[in-house]
Amino acid sequence: MRRIVCVGGGPAGLFTAILARKALPDVEVTVFERNPYDATYGFGVVFSDETLGNIADADPVSFERIEAEFRYWSDLEIRKDGEVTRTTGHGFAAFPRLRLLQILTDRVRELGAEVRFSENVADPTSLDADLVVVADGVNSATRRALADRFVPHVVPGAARYAWFGTEHDFGIFTFLFERTPYGVVQAHCYPYAGGLSTFIIEMSEAAWQAAGLEPDRTFAPGETDPAAKAFAEKVFGDHLGGRELIGNNSQWIRFPEVSAERWWWDRYVIIGDAAHTAHFSIGSGTKLAMEDAIALVDALVSHDGDVASALPAYERDRRPQVESTQRAARTSQAWFESVDRYYDLPRKQFDFQLLTRSQRITLANLRIRDPQSTEDIVDDWRSRQELPAPRPDTPPMFHPYRLKGVTFPNRVGVSPMAQYCAVDGKPTDWHLVHLGSRAVGGAGLVMVEMTCVSPEGRITPGCPGLWNDEQQEAFRPIVEFVHRHTQAVLGMQLGHSGRKGGMRVPWEVGDDELVPVDGEWERLAPSPIPFRKGAPVPTPMTRRHMDEVRDQFAEAAARTATLGFDLLELHMAHGYLLSSFISPLTNQRDDDYGGRLVNRMRFPLEVVDAVREVWPQNLPLSVRISATDWAAGGTSGDDAVEIARMLADHGVDIIDVSTGQVVEHQQPRYGRLWQTPFSDRIRLETGLPTMTVGAVSSIDDVDTVVVAGRADLCLIARPHLVDPYWTLNAAIDVGYAGHPWPPQYLRGKPARRREQDPNQRLIDR
């Protein structure tokens, strides 16, 4: 490789130049920056401790110079309608953006590379280089010019924000919240240099419109919207110590979330904001940009400067980390965009929600940062629980929960998981051991897999059913075992497979779970739309079919009650029959059961009504929903709130919030706690209890979710497949002795503890 050109002299382009010159000294490097040396938009940038370490390792010289001018702080203040709370332990460093760029520029030049200011690259294809590093920021013209290669997506945020500076020194990170006649308005403020702070005002689109802030003209780049400044000063004047805000390109913006399906093509690679953005509320944009530079140069070095192999390797290694940060940023962004949802929560819960908003920071993290404030938050949560804690040291996960006449001994549930090994719909000794051992393992709720209300309502011939007496009797030993030997609440999930019915048992057909069985199988659905191209076309349901299926649900529910189950759940998720009525993508009927949501809900609600009549009033009725289809035109988070309200009006007590699996072209965004924001929204907007599910994988996750009020119960599926004793092990791991223990297994406790600490005594209780 002979020459690298960086388009854009922001943190991404400049740090690439530095690292490339260090690692590949024979390669010529040039940075083109359209602005002059001393011009930049924005004020300060914040770095977390972790980022600093990465920069220090990559180029200790740059780091030392930056560090010498850092402003450090560890406290964080939340001022809401005049009330102030403060927490500590949040290690951050801030720095003026202009100084960062100047230090990096000087270092680039010192290492023998060229930075050409005031040079706009109009046509990157004309550049003489073996590698073109596209680092031209969020509005990247190069990304747009090569859009067919990079396939970018730019999604504008739902809120409006404007970025200012101020000569008021906030001293520490400060969040300001004020309720105005137009709605809640917030500001994110942090100091970044002697006497100076960054000040970002943000508000919902509705509040922004109500306040009449839409400008009547377009502002030139660099210009400040005077009305934005005046409004921010009016709302937050009391917090600015008599100082004015300083404008610098300060105009109302909707934060654009940038992503791209491909980061490289030929000799071009997009990095930094040009490739991906992360909402400013997690302060990670500069970090991502500089870490991209580190990863890119590492890839070039490990591929001996061979661009063709280095670029794919760079994207492969870097993408998972970037997407994980973007997920956290998106969750944090959504929190601020929906602040109205949280505004009237008890103050400590509001603070905890705010601090854990990205779902990255957990209760355990906060406990390390600020033990006292965290204990206060947990105590406050405990004081609001209906049931008392068994012991003063009970972790939130082990705090019992009551719903109607049922007491859950803790907040963990075994999510329903199909086992595909029933015989003629009858559960077998496998089910007894499978469900029994998970109940012994301490979960507060054990859900039976989807149990079908009719033979053709089964997903596979191996699915259990509850349409005849033999099946009912086969369930009896399971119910008796769980109730006799454990404190677990036992839940039954009833469902009908609809168009996904009549499939072969997954492990008979490898990875593809939806291979139809040979022979006849009547698959019912609202509309004749197969699950995917080539799959069997289902029969659109007539009123007679609806009556039959409704009665089948009611009969299975009555059998569930006779068996003595504690909780009943109706499966209205994952594209099965009732779910396919709810989604507009699978229900295209033009009668009373299709069209608007209220029509699409009509048949599912008829089923709820019929079931509620036979299911005891004092026992909870749950419904599992797909809160989003993860597909354009499908069910969305807004619909999910409406769906939950309608279900509650018909006597449903708790919503089990899952997502997706409704259409094949879904585009879910997986990750830790990836479905929990939907549960949070339903719970807080409707006041209904919820269960969350989906990559809830640690005690800390459960503690954090319940204390923040994002769900009442946490369902854990796959981890329970390999560890039936998940909850008992959790009790040992956090040293909590208050959880009920099977006496037969008491001696296992110290054995497990000895795995962690060889000095543990062999016998203890």
Choose the catalytic residue: 182, 190, 576, 736.
576
Residue 418 or residue 648: which is nearer to ligand FMN going by CB? 418
| Site track for ligand FMN across 445-474, x = CB under 6 A | ----xx------------------------
CB of 616 to ligand FMN, least distance (A): 22
User: Which helix (H) or strand (E) element contains residue 577?
Assistant: helix 577-582
User: Which helix (H) or strand (E) element contains residue 434?
Assistant: helix 429-440
Distance CA 271, CA 278 (A): 13
Distance CA 239, CA 300 (A): 49
Residue 11 or residue 416: which is nearer to ligand FAD going by CB? 11
Q: Which residues pair with 657 in a beta bridge?
A: 625, 692
Give which of 30, 47, 33 is closest to 101, Cα–Cα. Answer: 33
| Site track for ligand FMN across 663-702, x = CB under 6 A | ------------------------------xxx-------
Task: Pick what 658 binds: ligand FAD, ligand FMN, none; C-beta below 5 to 8 Å, kind-dependent.
Answer: ligand FMN
Distance of CA 101 to the CA centre of its chain: 33
Backbone angles phi, psi at 32, to 5 degrees: -105, 125
Q: Which residue has the tokens 């929204």?
A: 681
Residue 245 or residue 448: which is nearer to ligand FAD going by CB? 245
Q: Which of residues 549-608 bind ligand FMN (CB under 6 A)?
A: 571, 573
Among 648, 716, 728, 731, binds ligand FMN (CB under 6 A): 716
Among 624, 683, 710, 749, binds ligand FMN (CB under 6 A): 624
Residue 710 contacts residue 679 (beta carbons within 8 Å):
yes
The CA-based angle 707-710-716, given to 5 degrees, is: 95
List CB contacts of 455: < 8 A, sequence separation 6 or more.
425, 465, 467
Dmax over CA atoms of the chain, in Å, equals 84
Distance CA 265, CA 446 (A): 50
Question: What six digits make up the tokens of 571?
Answer: 């499966």
Task: Pick what 163 binds: ligand FAD, ligand FMN, none; C-beta below 5 to 8 Å, kind-dependent.
Answer: ligand FAD
Distance CA 430, CA 421 (A): 8
CB of 706 to ligand FMN, least distance (A): 16
CB of 720 to ligand FMN, least distance (A): 8
Distance CA 603, CA 550 (A): 8
Distance CA 130, CA 27 (A): 10
Q: Which amino acid is at 70?
A: F
Task: Pick what 200 binds: ligand FMN, ligand FAD, none; C-beta below 5 to 8 Å, kind-dependent.
Answer: ligand FAD
The CA-based angle 112-118-124, given to 5 degrees, is: 80
Q: Which residue has the tokens 């940062």?
A: 369
Task: Pick what 717 binds: ligand FMN, ligand FAD, none; C-beta below 5 to 8 Å, kind-dependent.
Answer: ligand FMN
Question: What six digits make up the tokens of 84?
Answer: 């102030």
Among 259, 374, 415, 471, binds ligand FMN (CB under 6 A): 415
Among 418, 445, 610, 643, binds ligand FMN (CB under 6 A): 418
Residue 471 contacts residue 520 (beta carbons within 8 Å):
no
Q: Which amino acid is at 187?
A: A
Among 105, 284, 460, 493, binds ligand FMN (CB under 6 A): 493
Task: Pick what 136 binds: ligand FMN, ligand FAD, none; C-beta below 5 to 8 Å, kind-dependent.
Answer: ligand FAD
Applying CB under 6 A, which part among 59-67, 288-296, 537-545, 712-720 lies near ligand FMN? 712-720
Residue 221 contacts residue 138 (beta carbons within 8 Å):
no
Residue 252 or residue 475: which is nearer to ligand FAD going by CB? 252
Residue 267 or residue 624: which is nearer to ligand FMN going by CB? 624
Question: What six digits make up the tokens of 486?
Answer: 């454990």
Residue 183 or residue 416: which is nearer to ligand FMN going by CB? 416
- Eight-class DSSP state of 465: B
C-alpha distances out from residue 615 to 569, 648, 691, Å: 11, 15, 20
Residue 449 or residue 653: which is nearer to ligand FMN going by CB? 449
Residue 249 or residue 497: which is nearer to ligand FMN going by CB? 497
CB of 633 to ligand FAD, least distance (A): 31
Residue 51 or residue 356: which is nearer to ligand FAD going by CB? 51
Residue 716 contacts residue 698 (beta carbons within 8 Å):
no
Task: Pick what 695 binds: ligand FAD, ligand FMN, none; C-beta below 5 to 8 Å, kind-dependent.
Answer: ligand FMN
Residue 271 contacts residue 292 (beta carbons within 8 Å):
yes
Applying CB under 6 A, which part among 320-328, 464-472, 577-585, 713-721 lies near ligand FMN? 713-721
* Pairing verdict, β 539-540 and 621-626: unpaired
Task: Pick what 24 binds: ligand FAD, ligand FMN, none; C-beta below 5 to 8 Å, kind-dependent.
Answer: none
* Pairing verdict, β 44-48 and 92-96: antiparallel
List CB contacts of 520: < 8 A, sequence separation 6 or more.
none
Q: Which amino acid is at 726?
A: W
Sheet holding 159-166, edge to edge: 83-87, 76-80, 173-180, 183-193, 196-204, 159-166, 245-246
CB of 48 to ligand FAD, least distance (A): 9
Among 717, 748, 752, 760, binds ligand FMN (CB under 6 A): 717
CB of 444 to ligand FMN, least distance (A): 15
Residue 417 or residue 644: which is nearer to ligand FMN going by CB? 417
List CB contacts of 39: < 8 A, sequence separation 6 or more.
none
Residue 5 or residue 494: which is nearer to ligand FMN going by CB? 494
Q: Which residues pair with 495 in a beta bridge?
A: 452
Among 532, 665, 718, 747, binds ligand FMN (CB under 6 A): 718
Buried b (16+ CB within 10 A) or exposed e, 533-546: eebbebebbeeeeb
Told to judge if 576 belongs to the known catalytic residues of this protein, a careful annotator would answer yes
Residue 121 or residue 297: which is nearer to ligand FAD going by CB? 121
Applying CB under 6 A, which part among 409-417, 533-541, 603-611, 738-746 lies near ligand FMN? 409-417
Name the residues that contact ligand FAD, by CB under 6 A.
7-13, 32-35, 42, 45-46, 120-121, 135-138, 141, 163, 200, 272-274, 280, 283-287, 289
CB of 136 to ligand FAD, least distance (A): 3
Residue nearest to ligand FMN (CB): 717
Among 228, 412, 417, 730, binds ligand FMN (CB under 6 A): 417
CB of 627 to ligand FMN, least distance (A): 12
Among 124, 183, 247, 416, binds ligand FMN (CB under 6 A): 416
Task: Pick what 450 binds: ligand FMN, ligand FAD, none; C-beta below 5 to 8 Å, kind-dependent.
Answer: ligand FMN
CB of 99 to ligand FAD, least distance (A): 14
Backbone angles phi, psi at 436, to 5 degrees: -60, -45
Residue 239, helix vs strand vs coil: helix
Task: Pick what 718 binds: ligand FAD, ligand FMN, none; C-beta below 5 to 8 Å, kind-dependent.
Answer: ligand FMN
Q: Which residues bind ligand FMN (CB under 6 A)?
A: 415-418, 449-450, 493, 571, 573, 624, 658, 693-695, 716-718
Which residue numbers are catalytic? Answer: 576
